[in-house]
Amino acid sequence: MSENLTGPQVPDARGYFGAYGGRFIPEALVAAVEQVADEYEKAKHDPAFTAELDLLLKDYTGRPSPLTDVHRFSAEAGGARVLLKREDLNHTGSHKINNVLGQALLTRRMGKTRIIAETGAGQHGVATATACALFGFDCTIYMGEVDTERQALNVARMRMLGAEVVAVKSGSRTLKDAINEAFRDWVANVDNTHYLFGTVAGPHPFPAMVRDFHRVIGVEARAQVIERTGKLPDAVVACVGGGSNAIGIFHEFIPDAGVRLIGCEAAGEGVDTARHAATLTKGEPGVLHGARSYVLQDEDGQTIESHSISAGLDYPGIGPEHAWLKDTGRAEYRPVTDDEAMLALRLLSRTEGIIPAIESAHALAGALVLGRELGPDATLLVNLSGRGDKDMHTAAQYFGLYDTAAAAQGETR
Amino acid sequence: MTSKLSGVLAAAAAENRAALIGYLPAGFPTVDGGIRAVNALLEGGCDIVEVGLPHSDPVLDGPTIQTADDIALRGGVRIKDVLRTVQEVSGAHPEAAVLVMTYWNPVDRYGTARFAADLAAAGGAGVILPDLPVEESEAWRAAAAEHGLDTVFVVAPSSRDKRLAEVTAAGSGFVYAAAVMGVTGSRAQVGELAEDLVARTRAATDLPVCVGLGVSTAAQAAQVAGFADGVIVGSAFVQRILDADGDERLALAAVRELAADLAEGVRRR
Residue B187 lies in a domain: no
Is A385 catalytic? The answer is yes
Give the range of the structural domain holding residue B96, as residue numbers without chain letter. 4-151+230-266
Q: Please name the residues in contact with B47: beta carbons below 8 A apart, sequence gap of 6 or more.
A: B8, B9, B11, B12, B19, B20, B21, B96, B97, B230
- Distance (Å) of CA A145 to CA A75, A161, A174, B59, B251: 40, 20, 7, 17, 32
What CATH number is associated with residue B61?
Answer: 3.20.20.70
pLDDT for position A407 = 57
> Residue A209 CB: number of other CB atoms within 10 A?
24
Cβ proximity of B20 and B231 under 8 Å: yes
Count helices and strands in chain B by DSSP H and E runs: 12, 8
Chain B partners of A37 at a C-beta cutoff of 8 Å? none
Could you give the 3-state DSSP secondary structure of residue A166? strand
pLDDT for position B185 = 87
- Distance (Å) of CA B245 to CA A170, B25, B35, B40, B248: 20, 16, 17, 17, 8
Residue B256 lies in a domain: yes
> Residue B261 CB: number of other CB atoms within 10 A?
16
B60, B73, B108 ranked by CB distance to A26: nearest: B60
Q: Rounded to an integer, what distance in angstroms lies between the CA atom of residue A277 and that of residue A266?
A: 5
Residue B201 lies in a domain: no
CB pairs under 8 A between A and B: 109
Q: Rounded to an integer, what distance in angstroms lies between the CA atom of residue B236 and that of residue B33?
A: 17
Average pLDDT over residues B241-266: 98
Torsion sign, CA atoms A128, A182, A197, A271: positive
Strands B48-52 and A260-268 turn out to be: unpaired
> Residue A413 CB: number of other CB atoms within 10 A?
9
CATH number assigned to the domain covering A24-60+95-206: 3.40.50.1100
Chain B partners of A24 at a C-beta cutoff of 8 Å? 104, 131-133, 136
Query: What's the DSSP call for residue A136?
Result: T
pLDDT tens, B15-27? 999 999 999 999 9
Q: Rounded to an integer, what distance in angstroms lies between the CA atom of residue A400 and that of residue B167?
A: 59
Peptide bond into A11 cis (omega under 30): yes
| CB-based contact A300 B59, cutoff 8 Å | no
Q: Please name the residues in contact with A322: beta carbons below 8 A apart, sequence gap of 6 or more.
A: A200, A240, A243, A246, A247, A263, A280, A293, A294, A331, A333
| CB-based contact B183 A184, cutoff 8 Å | yes
Residue B219 lies in a domain: no
| CB-based contact A28 B158, cutoff 8 Å | yes
| CB-based contact B156 A14, cutoff 8 Å | no
In which band, very low, low, confident or very high, does the pLDDT at B191 lie, cut at 50, 70 and 90?
confident
Task: Output phi, psi for B267, to 5 deg.
Answer: -95, 0
Catalytic residue among A44, A96, A112, A176: A96
B59, B133, B159 ranked by CB distance to A184: nearest: B59
Q: Please name the residues in contact with B117: beta carbons below 8 A apart, sequence gap of 6 or more.
A: B143, B147
Is A96 catalytic? The answer is yes
Instruction: Please give the order of strands across the beta sheet that includes A284-288.
Output: A16-17, A20-21, A291-295, A284-288
Cβ proximity of A303 and A288 under 8 Å: yes
Q: Which residues pair with A21 in a beta bridge?
A: A16, A292
Task: Output phi, psi for B152, to 5 deg.
Answer: -95, 125
* pLDDT exceeds 90 at position B206: yes
Query: Mind giving me the DSSP string for A310-369?
Result: SGGG--S---HHHHHHHHHTSEEEEEEEHHHHHHHHHHHHHHHS--B-HHHHHHHHHHHH
Question: Which stretches of chain A score pLDDT less than 50?
Answer: 411-413
Task: Output phi, psi for A319, to 5 deg.
Answer: -60, 145
| CB-based contact A180 B59, cutoff 8 Å | yes
- Which CATH code of 3.30.450.20, 3.40.640.10, 3.40.50.1100, 3.40.718.10 fits the domain covering A63-93+212-408? 3.40.50.1100
Average pLDDT over residues B66-75: 96
Residue B90 lies in a domain: yes
Q: Which residues pair with B178 in a beta bridge?
A: B212
| CB-based contact A27 B78, cutoff 8 Å | no
| CB-based contact A30 B158, cutoff 8 Å | yes
Average pLDDT over residues B186-213: 92
Q: Where are the alpha helices (DSSP H) in A62-205?
A: 71-76, 96-109, 123-135, 145-150, 152-160, 175-189
* pLDDT exceeds 60 at position B150: yes
- Closest C-alpha to A239, from A280, A178, A289, A195: A280
For chain B, give the percent of residues with pLDDT over 90. 93
Strands (E), A247-297: 260-268, 284-288, 291-295
B73, B108, B181 ranked by CB distance to A302: nearest: B73
Residue B80 lies in a domain: yes
Catalytic site residues of B?
50, 61
pLDDT for position A406 = 57
B104, B163, B182 ranked by CB distance to A30: nearest: B163
Could you give the 3-state DSSP secondary structure of residue B22? strand
| Residue B41 Cα, gap to closest chain A Cα (Å) | 27
Interface test with A, best of B64, B109, B159, B160 (most A CBs within 10 A): B109
Q: Which residues pair with A119 in a beta bridge?
A: A143
Amino acid at A64: P
Cα-Cα-Cα-Cα dihedral of B97, B69, B222, B226, to 10°? -70
Interface test with B, best of A24, A183, A294, A304 (most B CBs within 10 A): A24
Chain A partners of B135 at a C-beta cutoff of 8 Å? 14, 23
Domain with CATH 3.40.50.1100 in chain A: 24-60+95-206, 63-93+212-408
B79, B105, B167 ranked by CB distance to A287: nearest: B105
Query: What's the DSSP call for residue A94?
Result: B
Count helices and strands in chain A by DSSP H and E runs: 16, 14
Residue B89 lies in a domain: yes
Q: Which of residues 61-100 of A touch B (CB under 8 A)?
A: none
Q: Which residues pair with A284 in a beta bridge?
A: A295
Query: Mind giving me the DSSP string for B108-152?
Result: HHH-HHHHHHHHHHTT--EEE-TT--GGG-HHHHHHHHHTT-EEE
Peptide bond into A285 cis (omega under 30): no
Burial class (CB in 10 A: 0-12, 13-18, 19+), B58: buried
| CB-based contact B158 A190, cutoff 8 Å | yes
> Residue A411 CB: number of other CB atoms within 10 A?
7
pLDDT for position B269 = 72
Q: Which residues pair with A141 in a beta bridge?
A: A117, A165
The domain tally of chain B equals 1
Interface test with A, best of B129, B131, B155 (most A CBs within 10 A): B131
pLDDT for position B52 = 98
pLDDT tens, A75-100? 999 999 999 999 999 999 999 999 99
Chain A partners of B182 at a C-beta cutoff of 8 Å? 28, 184, 187-188
Q: Rounded to an integer, what distance in angstroms lies between the CA atom of residue A87 and that of residue A65?
A: 6
Catalytic residue among A39, A76, A118, A265: A118
Residue B31 lies in a domain: yes
- Distance (Å) of CA A295 to CA A215, A307, B74: 25, 14, 20
Could you give the 3-state DSSP secondary structure of residue B9? helix
Cβ proximity of A297 and A304 under 8 Å: yes
Q: Rounded to an integer, what distance in angstroms lies between the CA atom of residue A223 and that of residue A273?
A: 41
